[in-house]
Amino acid sequence: SGPLPAPALPPAFDRETATTLAADLARETPNRVPGSLGAADAAAWFRTKLALYGIPVREDRWRQEVPGVGRVELRNLAAVVPGTVPETIVFVAHRDNKGDTSGANDNASGTAALVELARAYATAGATESARTPLHTLVFLSTDAGAYGSLGAARFASHSPLASRAVAA
């Protein structure tokens, strides 16, 4: 058998852009402990970046006990790109950190990758019609990932999008 041939389309993921986005998030909101002002600012950062591409974001807010933090408000953010079939592929990264470092690798890099992956489906400023994927795509930015993946668990148990997921 052997490797698959290279795709005919040029790659849409730009490593330099993703690196810059990760550095920006880590610098602008170094402390993203769930329930903190930094966590709220990081959520706004994610929403603002996707708005630049015309991609709306759905928000799920709830209160939950976070180990070592207390009972705080958490939020998951989901950017949905409708596909031609209802089955969903979920790309997920948590945006919080423990606050002891700027969290560039935990997990500003994952959040930046979500933004960069979603950019391929931008509608704002597109000179041609936006790409429509086969599957519905969900770019999910979760809260409290560094504290037991609480946001991912919330998505899996409460989101109607999770019931249609065929891959994450």
Label the pairing between strands 165-167 and 85-94: parallel
Q: Model pTM greater than 0.85?
A: yes
Distance in angstroms (rounded) separating the CA atoms of residues 140 and 165: 12
Distance in angstroms (rounded) separating the CA atoms of residues 130 and 111: 22
Over 80: is that where the pLDDT of 11 sits?
A: no
Find residue 88's DSSP bridge partners. 136, 165
Q: Which residues contact 128 (CB under 8 A, 6 or more apart)?
A: none
Distance in angstroms (rounded) separating the CA atoms of residues 126 and 129: 7
User: How far lies 14's CA from each of 17, 50, 53, 112, 141, in Å?
Assistant: 5, 16, 15, 11, 19
Q: Name the residue type at position 33.
A: V
Distance in angstroms (rounded) separating the CA atoms of residues 126 and 54: 10
Distance in angstroms (rounded) separating the CA atoms of residues 139 and 79: 5
Find residue 70's DSSP bridge partners. 66
Distance in angstroms (rounded) separating the CA atoms of residues 133 and 103: 32
User: What's the longest Cα–Cα distance across the chain?
Assistant: 53
| Percent of all residues in the chain with a pLDDT value above 90, rounded to a whole number | 77
Report yes or no: 36 and 99 within 8 Å, Cβ to Cβ.
yes
- Could you read off the pLDDT of 63-110 as tens digits, one per residue? 999 999 999 999 999 999 999 998 999 999 999 999 999 989 889 999
Report yes or no: 127 and 67 within 8 Å, Cβ to Cβ.
no
> In terms of C-beta density within 10 A (0-12 exposed, 13-18 middle, 19 or more buried), how is residue 151 classed?
buried
Q: Provide the pLDDT confidence category of residue 2 given band limits of 50, 70 and 90.
A: confident
Over 90: is that where the pLDDT of 26 sits?
A: yes
Q: Give the pLDDT of residue 96.
A: 97
Return the higher-pLDDT residue of 133 and 125: 133
